[in-house]
Amino acid sequence: MKQLMLGNAAVARGLYEAGCCVISSYPGTPSTEITEEAAKFDDIYCEWAPNEKVAMEVAFGASLAGKRSFCAMKHVGLNVAADPLFTVAYTGVNAGMVIAVADDPGMHSSQNEQDSRHYAIAAKLPMLEPADSAEALAFTRRAYEISEEFDTPVILKMCTRVAHSQSIVETSPRTEGPERPYEKNIAKYVMMPGNAIRRHPVVEARMEKLQAYAETCPFNRTEMGGTELGIITSGTCYQYVKEVFGDSVSVLKLGMVHPLPTQLIRDFAAKVQRLGGVEELDGVIETHCKALG
């Protein structure tokens, strides 16, 4: 069924459809409505945690117990949750775990601007960034599959414009995730230094696999128009680019913003005379492209 839905409500719907069972979040605009909307589904246990660190640890605990889990916070809240964030990158997951962070470019309701892509890079975690409500739902569902396939939490990067704007989404029935009973594994889940040292190569190998996946990820797509100018963009900025240029330029629209593809960008650059990028806050895509020469 198709309906008009806010971006945050679309994420909540995606959680329901993906078989998420446990949500622990800390409120903060522009992320608050995700958990408020998800609480309307009887199949999902939802709670407000005392802070973002606790919220992430509860979600991680549910993942270890074999239940697909989720936590949400705004960008400044991810600072509070940074301690468990960097560690769960090493442990990996049992059932799928998704972390939503909502950035606030322009500081509509925040004390500062932060680009949460830097956390994905530093923690070595995959990050998806939807550009509208339909993608918010689709990316949320796919995030659980990526989480379980690559044994990693997945970060879903929202922002004010996407979270609080509406577009058409197509809903589907709920599907339960695969059975993943808890198995005691101290070497994997207890990050004492001796275990953490052995997990580090696992994290690096996982990033190589995710890098290869980024090249063919369906969320990264090329829209060829005029070849005089090609623009690489993501998230809300994709909407800005289409509003200004329409089909007069070619666009490489990135839905997976970490790790960024390499060959896909090279191939796109070869098809256009000039290459540019449009992104909010920091030049993450720009830096990546310059590193590629």
Measure the CA–CA gap between 236 and 230, rounded to whole angstroms. 17
The predicted structure's pLDDT at residue 293: 87
The predicted structure's pLDDT at residue 14: 98
The overall average pLDDT reported for the chain is: 97
The predicted structure's pLDDT at residue 177: 87
Helix (H, G, I), strand (E, B) or coil at 124: coil
φ, ψ (nearest 5 deg) of residue 152: -155, 145
DSSP letter for each residue of 248-261: SSEEEEESEEESPP
Containing H/E element for 231?
Answer: strand 229-234
Measure the CA–CA gap between 152 and 90, rounded to whole angstroms. 8
- Partner residues linked to 167 by β-bridges: 5
166, 136 in Cβ contact below 8 A?
A: no
178, 121 in Cβ contact below 8 A?
A: no
Measure the CA–CA gap between 186 and 199, rounded to whole angstroms. 12
The predicted structure's pLDDT at residue 76: 97
- Parts of the chain with a pLDDT under 70: none
The predicted structure's pLDDT at residue 251: 98
Number of H helices, E strands in the chain: 13, 13
Predicted TM-score of the model (pTM)? 0.96
Question: CA nearest 128: which of 8, 281, 273, 260?
Answer: 260
Measure the CA–CA gap between 22 and 68, rounded to whole angstroms. 7
